[in-house]
Amino acid sequence: MLKPRHQYAVYILTNKKNGTLYIGMTNNLERRVFEHRSKYVDGFTKKYDLNKLIYFEIYQYVNDAIEREKRLKAWKRQWKINLIEEYNKDWNDLTSDWYD
């Protein structure tokens, strides 16, 4: 029997273009973004109203996702902005069609 394939996401949230950035990692991106938007947990994203998903990467292995998250968090801000704008020049919310 085949084991189900796991998926892990490293993601970046913001509140506006060139605003505050938050980098996180999860095994369920849709649920996690919903939790951030719902202000489910007190913390950084709630304090700064970070609710727009502007970038994400998918990994099969949790260790790869954890390593990538750590590396991105260590990057200079401009490097993070360059990464975002390479794939999402206008900083559009990538979840615009996920929820009703």
pLDDT at residue 40, as a whole number: 83
Q: Is residue 47 part of a domain?
A: yes
Residue 49 vs residues 5, 18, 37, 68, 79: alpha-carbon distances, Å? 32, 14, 8, 24, 22
Residue for token pair 């790869």? 64
Which CATH number does the domain housing residue 77 bear? 3.40.1440.10
User: Could you report the per-residue pLDDT of 50-96, keeping only the tens digit for each?
Assistant: 999 999 999 999 999 999 999 999 999 999 999 999 999 999 999 98
Q: Is the pLDDT of residue 34 over 80?
A: yes
Q: In total, how many domains does the chain have?
A: 1
Cβ contacts of 89 within 8 Å, gap of 6 or more: none
Q: How far apart are CA 66 and CA 82, in angstroms?
A: 21
pTM: 0.91
The answer to whether residue 68 sits within a structural domain is: yes
Domain span at residue 19 reads: 8-87
pLDDT band at 4 (very low <50, low <70, confident <90, very high): low
Quote the DSSP letter at residue 54: E
30 part of a folded domain? yes
